[in-house]
Amino acid sequence: MPPAPRYRRVLLKLSGEGLMGDREYGLDPGMVGMVAQEIKTVHEMGVQVCLVIGGGNIFRGVSAAASGMDRASGDYMGMLATVINSLAMQSALERQGLQTRVQSAIPMTTVCEPYIRRRAVRHMEKGRVVIFAAGTGNPFFTTDTAAALRAAEMSVDAMLKGTQVDGVYSADPRKDKAAKRYDTLTYMDVLSRDLQVMDASAISLARENRIPIIVFDIHKPGAFAQTMAGQGTFTVIKDEG
């Protein structure tokens, strides 16, 4: 009998880079499949799950803008990259037997649904996993901000950020062996210490809507389910008290 989850409905934010595995570009099918298995385990605990996936494994608008491309055009291209990742994750989840819907902030009805808040909520109530693609649909906003926005709109109990380390550190633990890991932080701690968990807009939006942010290692087998049960290693970002 799996442990009871602490949360009824959650949004999982994944970076595009987290789906690359050992590749330098694109998607690693094995990594996508592993993440899909983690999501299935949590879904079977009775948790309603929705996702936002970045597109940095395919295209980064900010990097393109630094090379001279128009920033808005680069961001739209990045949004299309998130749709590619979302469709790949949908396929992997459906191979696990989960019913899944992709909703895009940029309408493209040939391949997925347009984003409609009430429909997304209904999908989750029916036990479907919903993947929100194309960010907010606007340039100059990151997928972190899109995740915080969708988390607020879906009235989730928590927003989880699946990373490549087991929480928030004072520095990159892969480069600095003296980096300190935090068990808990406040939103203001993250902003004032510039901890680079998510961009400031996303942190502020989560703070305004009192949505706790939980940072954990998505690549550790079983970590997502353990985090849902309040077990394992992770960092919780929330208001004091």
Task: Point out the annotated binding site for UMP.
Answer: 55, 75, 136-143
Instruction: Read off the tokens for 201.
Output: 């807009």
**CA 111 vs CA 27, 92, 138, 181: distances in Å:** 19, 16, 20, 41
Tokens 């892969």, located at residue: 174
Contact between 215 and 167 (Cβ < 8 Å): yes
Q: Which residues participate in the annotated binding site for ATP?
A: 13-16, 56, 60, 163-164, 169, 172
Q: Which residues participate in the annotated binding site?
A: 13-16, 55-56, 60, 75, 136-143, 163-164, 169, 172
Tell me the residue type at 207: R
- Rounded CA gap, 199 and 157, in Å? 20
Question: How much is the CA Rg of the chain, to the nearest whole Å?
Answer: 17
Instruction: Read off the tokens for 138.
Output: 């606007």
